[in-house]
Structure 1
């Protein structure tokens, strides 16, 4: 038994079914069959209030005693309950004199409501006929049993889902409001079983890597069940795997002190051993242990990311044997690394993919693949790739560390004990791939690159040259067909020779010929002879690749070649069909036809439905064609200008849809090319986030004199990318680049707007001093131009920054000027924003009543204009004011309304901050367990965004909540972490944290 009186849950196993006499198995249907599985369509609920339904119609269940009778019958598994047993169940040892008559009355009433065939009288008692109805408890039990079987079979992900579904059957306290000793006994049993299910599911959460999410729930559960050591053990493990070792150790110290004070005993051995393992930083704790029965079961997540191998793969037999043999030996080596080097088009990727597929049996735990884009200017960052790999291996976003070094360490830990092949295609250099290498026996890496990686220690280097004449002819024949080639063998040899025996060139030439039945091989050979003359003007290496692309380009129709040249101009990693149509100035259908024809020539790749991309070398070639051929500079500039217009017009529409009536869109540079329009806010947001990379690349690329102002305004219109957290760093880098471009060109208006976007970025990241400097600079630059955007926005920003810097008087002055400026500009949403910010200033000055009034004024403006997203910001401000005024229920209501909108809008920063404010409300309402849960969720959501200052504030409140539930040691750890943050930032909050720490330190 656990010391809180409940049966101990078997560790690392799914929970047992509920205790005897609580099975409630009324029917044989599975939970998925639903209420109609029974003949009557009746269903009952006991995992909450005792209720009955026929279909969707709720049935009256009568008085509390009548519900007690129904519950007693439902929980007897269809067996008959005598009148004496029912009397004892409802009234215990002191029944009323008319108890028997009352039982008969209750049964009669229930029979009328339900059905005489459902509730039957027999042997002097009553029973619910087996199979007559479904019961929520039955469904939960069947799901729990299925979860146990799934886990025993190694299907831990399915087991976790089944347990979650089982727990969803509960609707509050079981048998809520039902009187009598029998109901009380069953209520205790069912509550214990629910806790067992929860522990088992949390155990699976930790095995799935959901450590940060589990901390919040476990914190609340340990507060509700302080003597349940298994929950403490899970909490320690979750904290440790979240990188919070000191807090994990503090949980043990708190537990030891609590058990000594309450029970006079030490923690159980399992808890003590876990503490020692944490102290030793036991590496095995960094990953979940494997169950012995499931040791041979497949890993929970087995990525299979290899691209398809070409069906006509030809030659390279010696390389295939060499590389496959090398990979096959990975199980007995520390790490097998093979690096293929060669010029573009030589077939490195094709060979690597073919070998990887051949070696799949040696890597049963999966294969990872990434194109590192090493030949381009914007090569893949190792940290970004590691994030994608960790997600593919089943690691949730919240558990992925922020730094590249931590991600690399977690990647290696995740692969430890697995046999996974990593294919790193198109690498830039050894430095790019070193963090991406596994590092343990059983795993291997296969690398392709244009350069020889001599500095990649321990790698098996392979130099891939052009194909032999026989292999080249064989590849050509497989694509074109034996009949056509055998009739003109000499011409075919001329073709592959003209291709320089490069596989990609041969493939393009053969594909051209195969799609043109009227051509002979000799015709193709003659055409290639003309192209071959260009090779005399080229040197070695990549120039052979250029000749290969020249081959395909020379056979394009005029519309295709124009599209090929123009679409190579934008810098983005890929391009959507709509954006491509803007570049080409063509209808989407015609654009799609051209792009698909270019995909057929292998000059363009189809990245996804409706999205296209160039291989990096093909893009360089396309641009050289645009400069070399009859494509005037004015046409190239017009194409990129249309793309910028498309992005600006569409982003402006997205902004206006989310912020009706906001005057920002009226102050942006005009566009001549139309953008997309969306019917609802969600589709608009989907577009913005899907286009984040190419959109920001367009801003960076088009910062020249003719397009600079539109580029800056596009950054303004897309400010959600900076606020959401997902693209904040990329957005900031783009803002820096545009600011420098504007400064270099002496464009004061553009510089002022670019500086304002930087101020916003710094403020959101919690860097308040640079944010204030940039906002002040934006106002200075806007003075001569009278640009209303920086003048309004900067004053508003400086007001809220002053609040964060504990300068409320300065902040009030800035915000009063902002309100005046917004009103002068007839910008009602801007005015509402400043009013809500002024509410927070008044709150800091102790003017609570006016703070509530100002926030409500802002909300009224937002609501009148249908401004849902910014209305949530208003409700956030009102929630703070109501909290300080002691109206806690109303404050929580407003904050929950805001939270729903922020989640729906993918505004992670504001979602996290709202959870933090809800934690403050819970603290004020003396609900420390709920406060701790909300603060933990805030930390999880804000991971990597919002800056250290906000994290310090959340840690402070979390510490207060933990202290309130008796986790004093863990609270001290949180406060110490917060103090370090505030002292490094020079923030005044350090004084409050020192005051919190002082009584703890003195004790």
Structure 2
């Protein structure tokens, strides 16, 4: 930021009359005035020029001669002095005599500083620089955003005169300086992906401003787009040579060389920045238990190892032992004691290594990066990129990472900080002998003395002291496992009428307990058997049945469906299970099992429940999810017949006050809902799961849940293919068609859609037939088979109409519009899209109305009606954002970019294309390639030929990999550049 902070606005004398206090003025845009909230007339352009000149004099008096020169320059009218007096008189009447004063043959405006937007912007800029100097980067960014937000277009807009012109130039330069400073802070904060779009537009508007080019190169490089970053330099060098006959400045050349060397320090903020840029200081450690007992030697040993991280190495300690031996308790306790050595924060994750679905490192890294302050938009997709960004973010910081319940060394290697000053503490059931450089600790059961001490702390010294021998019998029966001791002691502490000997007697029967107290997980199972054996029958049933469901946790309403009980009764049972430590309260109204407890609960269900009851419980859960998801679907898509074609449900489903609440439920329950569908293998549950995937199809297109939806659809599809039920298989294949379409895998999508239609006809299931025709029309269109696409879509229109499915008919019409557009029938394309919009508008179908507006916007773009096209596409974009359809949001940015490009607004086109790349699009790699084509065209028009070439080369690689016909278009774009 410029040391002058831009325009100077010295302290002004503050008038006190009330008619001045309420005045406000703006010059960072049109020159305007308000009293309170009411706008005041500012008069003719020359009168506004006089007002602007006085406002920019900082309260000082301007002589009549100075004002004449400001407004007319070297060619004033004959009556200039009289005109100045007239303008001043009119302003005085509007503002008040106390605000506009006459003195020494001139005029002055005397107001408080906060009454002028320029003064406020200046103060914010000064405060931002102070915050930046103090290391408060987030605050500095926020202050600069506020300062820049005061601009309302061009400063002194439409104000005549040489003085206003010179001030416009000055203020525009200052605004650019503020923008550069804020963008610099964005890059320091890791927001490089977001910055690319804005910098692309700014470099197009100010092509000779090298600092913007430098920031764009850095943002592209940190976004993994090295070729484009180097292309920016080549474009800049050529432009400067052609326009000014000079070479790029040294800083730009040095940055190019560092990019060519893949300078490791360039991929992250400087050391100085990293030390002060503490965007977030996570403190994720779970609470340590107040009755932590013993383990003195281990605490000392591990604490000493962690302390070495303050030196020159990264400390890694790995605790191994059987389940229930107290690994997590010890690790959390040691981590809390070591916190002073890690002032920059502590990260924690349960890796669920003991379960059937251990946490994926790529997902864990996403959570860690968010906890460290990295925005979602800046988090890359691949494991390698996330791991690299994670290590870069931790560079120069001292952070402790507690990786609990790891599956193996392969799972945790990407999660290790890899930098001096940081440390990792790992717990696992297995010894990680293949974890290079790790300090390994084998944690055994407690000694008898430690076990008795832990038992006593929980139960109370008075009760244990009276029955010491019985207490020793109890801890011995628990195998001296800390978790078993804690559960047993908690049972006793909660039952004041029991004696220790009563508990000892219960544990003395070793017919099952001894079998359970074997090496490995059997010891943990024995510990859980103790708690389970104390449950009331209805509590035990709840414990068994709730453990059957997959998913990270379970809502109270879903649990009630599993148990077939009212909400209040279900809640009482769940809270009782929480009290026994057999269930955890994840959040108000949500519950979860520890992974080992879940396994134990399932073993109890296998042993104690009839198979038909376990099947019924899981069917009730799917029934509840289907009923509620269908209600959400119906609220979002009024008139859509899908809800009439899903199988009947026993559960009525939840009710919602509005679409927002319904949508919140769908997305918050996505993991659990899809996990429940994945569990279905045959019979009634499989039919429910197939219909559930139909009703929850928004998750396939959301972006955030698309992958989970695909996994569930594939699992259900596999089961459906062996079911022998054509209705079930046909519907499952319809869901897989949607999955492949979203991902741009058109050949697979077409195969699934073809099979779905054939099976649906056999099963006399009409809806999948016309849905498949609609899908196959989209597929054929994307593959350039327009006649075939048109035939499919006409059948889809007729089938929807016959079924009374107005949204289905509208969808097919909008897709037909795309066919007509591609075959040169632009007017018909617009008419078909308008029919689709009209149908959706008539029935109040808000989400798919966005799709219809999207189709209409594309058609209007091709017709050259760019303003209308942008209006339709912008409305579609707003709805996609509201509906959380992230992939459609990105795709619409792409179409907006095309509309701007067609209208020759190339900078805006490049900006929206960048946003599409940052978000992602429906259609996967193929659509990404088309976005890159449009971005390249825009950049080429802006004179950035090398960066355009980089975009087109990537697009060509993507299209050639998929065999897309657009590859030839890219080759033709590249051919002139290759010849040059």
- TM-score, normalised to structure 2, is 0.97
Q: 1:854 matched to which residue of 2?
A: 832
Is the 2:214–2:255 Cα contact (8 Å) retained in structure 1? yes
* Gapped regions of structure 1 (runs ≥ 5): 1-8, 30-34
3-state SS of 1:612 partner: strand
Structure 1 residues 37 and 785, CA gap change in structure 2 (3 angstroms): farther
- 1:495 corresponds to 2:474: yes
Q: 1:44 matched to which residue of 2?
A: 25
2:419 to 425, 440, 451: 440
- 1:286 corresponds to 2:267: yes
Is the 1:531–1:551 Cα contact (8 Å) retained in structure 2? no
Structure 1 residues 144 and 532, CA gap change in structure 2 (3 angstroms): farther
Most deviating of 308-317 and 117-126: 117-126
Structure 1 residues 860 and 540, CA gap change in structure 2 (3 angstroms): same
Structure 1 residues 837 and 716, CA gap change in structure 2 (3 angstroms): same
2:6 to 18, 22, 33: 18
Q: 1:3 matched to which residue of 2?
A: none
Q: 1:764 matched to which residue of 2?
A: 742
> What per-residue deviation string (whole Å, max 9, x for no partner) do you get for residues 569-599 of structure 1?
1111110111111112223233223222222
2:342 to 342, 350, 363: 363
3-state SS of 2:476 partner: helix
Q: 1:378 matched to which residue of 2?
A: 357
- CA distance in 1: counterparts of 2:500 and 2:130, whole angstroms: 63
Is the 2:20–2:96 Cα contact (8 Å) retained in structure 1? no
1:662 to 640, 652, 667: 640
- CA distance in 1: counterparts of 2:17 and 2:340, whole angstroms: 47
Q: How does 1:524-673 map to 2 (within 5 A)?
A: 524-530=503-509, 534-536=513-515, 538-629=517-608, 631-673=609-651
- 1:988 corresponds to 2:965: yes
- 1:962 corresponds to 2:942: no
Q: 2:317 matched to which residue of 1?
A: 338
**C-alpha displacement of 1:554:** 2.0
Q: How does 1:904-983 map to 2 (within 5 A)?
A: 904-942=882-920, 946-983=923-960
Q: How does 1:4-153 map to 2 (within 5 A)?
A: 16-20=4-8, 23=9, 40-131=21-112, 134-153=115-134
**C-alpha displacement of 1:279:** 0.6
Q: 2:780 matched to which residue of 1?
A: 802
- 1:301 corresponds to 2:289: no
Most deviating of 831-840 and 336-345: 336-345
Q: 2:759 matched to which residue of 1?
A: 781
Is the 1:47–1:172 Cα contact (8 Å) retained in structure 2? yes
Structure 1 residues 885 and 552, CA gap change in structure 2 (3 angstroms): same
- CA distance in 1: counterparts of 2:756 and 2:592, whole angstroms: 37
**C-alpha displacement of 1:81:** 2.2
- CA distance in 1: counterparts of 2:501 and 2:18, whole angstroms: 73
**C-alpha displacement of 1:148:** 0.8
Q: 2:244 matched to which residue of 1?
A: 263
Is the 1:531–1:547 Cα contact (8 Å) retained in structure 2? no
**C-alpha displacement of 1:26:** 5.4
- CA distance in 2: counterparts of 1:378 and 1:939, whole angstroms: 31
**C-alpha displacement of 1:393:** 1.9
- 1:276 corresponds to 2:254: no
**C-alpha displacement of 1:485:** 2.6
- 1:419 corresponds to 2:398: yes
- 1:729 corresponds to 2:707: yes
Q: 2:186 matched to which residue of 1?
A: 205
**C-alpha displacement of 1:429:** 1.2
Q: 1:4 matched to which residue of 2?
A: none
1:879 to 857, 880, 883: 857
**C-alpha displacement of 1:295:** 7.0
- CA distance in 1: counterparts of 2:961 and 2:460, whole angstroms: 71
Is the 1:659–1:867 Cα contact (8 Å) retained in structure 2? yes
> What per-residue deviation string (whole Å, max 9, x for no partner) do you get for residues 821-879 of structure 1?
11111100000000000000000110001000000000000000001110010011101
**C-alpha displacement of 1:53:** 1.9
How well do the aligned residues superpose, as a CA RMSD in angstroms?
2.0
Q: 1:154 matched to which residue of 2?
A: 135
Is the 1:40–1:132 Cα contact (8 Å) retained in structure 2? no
> What per-residue deviation string (whole Å, max 9, x for no partner) do you get for residues 965-990 of structure 1?
00011111111111111111111101
Most deviating of 686-695 and 559-568: 559-568
- CA distance in 1: counterparts of 2:409 and 2:515, whole angstroms: 33
Is the 1:341–1:462 Cα contact (8 Å) retained in structure 2? yes
Is the 2:406–2:427 Cα contact (8 Å) retained in structure 1? yes
3-state SS of 2:660 partner: helix
**C-alpha displacement of 1:404:** 1.5
Q: 1:893 matched to which residue of 2?
A: 871
Structure 1 residues 43 and 586, CA gap change in structure 2 (3 angstroms): farther
**C-alpha displacement of 1:700:** 1.0
Most deviating of 518-527 and 930-939: 518-527
Most deviating of 562-571 and 272-281: 562-571
Paired residue total: 980
3-state SS of 1:707 partner: helix
Is the 1:645–1:672 Cα contact (8 Å) retained in structure 2? yes
Q: 2:671 matched to which residue of 1?
A: 693
- CA distance in 2: counterparts of 1:452 and 1:36, whole angstroms: 80
- 1:452 corresponds to 2:452: no
- CA distance in 1: counterparts of 2:13 and 2:391, whole angstroms: 49
**C-alpha displacement of 1:710:** 0.9
Q: How does 1:460-539 map to 2 (within 5 A)?
A: 460-530=439-509, 534-536=513-515, 538-539=517-518
Most deviating of 209-218 and 478-487: 478-487
3-state SS of 1:706 partner: helix
- CA distance in 2: counterparts of 1:586 and 1:115, whole angstroms: 74
Structure 1 residues 798 and 37, CA gap change in structure 2 (3 angstroms): farther
- CA distance in 2: counterparts of 1:827 and 1:815, whole angstroms: 14
> What per-residue deviation string (whole Å, max 9, x for no partner) do you get for residues 121-157 of structure 1?
3333222224286121222112111111111111111
Structure 1 residues 37 and 440, CA gap change in structure 2 (3 angstroms): farther
Q: 1:238 matched to which residue of 2?
A: 219
> What per-residue deviation string (whole Å, max 9, x for no partner) do you get for residues 222-255 of structure 1?
1111111000000110111111111111111111
Is the 2:456–2:464 Cα contact (8 Å) retained in structure 1? yes
- 1:179 corresponds to 2:156: no
- CA distance in 1: counterparts of 2:64 and 2:958, whole angstroms: 68
Is the 2:398–2:421 Cα contact (8 Å) retained in structure 1? yes
**C-alpha displacement of 1:298:** 6.1
Is the 2:458–2:493 Cα contact (8 Å) retained in structure 1? yes
- 1:713 corresponds to 2:691: yes
Is the 1:512–1:601 Cα contact (8 Å) retained in structure 2? yes
- CA distance in 1: counterparts of 2:20 and 2:324, whole angstroms: 68
Q: How does 1:736-751 map to 2 (within 5 A)?
A: 736-751=714-729
1:388 to 358, 364, 367: 367
**C-alpha displacement of 1:745:** 1.6
3-state SS of 2:115 partner: strand
Is the 1:42–1:132 Cα contact (8 Å) retained in structure 2? no
Most deviating of 525-534 and 359-368: 525-534
Is the 1:958–1:974 Cα contact (8 Å) retained in structure 2? yes
**C-alpha displacement of 1:16:** 4.4
- CA distance in 2: counterparts of 1:532 and 1:439, whole angstroms: 50
Structure 1 residues 470 and 375, CA gap change in structure 2 (3 angstroms): same
* Gapped regions of structure 2 (runs ≥ 5): none
> What per-residue deviation string (whole Å, max 9, x for no partner) do you get for residues 761-783 of structure 1?
11111111111111111112112
Q: 1:254 matched to which residue of 2?
A: 235
Is the 1:962–1:968 Cα contact (8 Å) retained in structure 2? yes
Structure 1 residues 483 and 26, CA gap change in structure 2 (3 angstroms): farther
**C-alpha displacement of 1:186:** 1.3
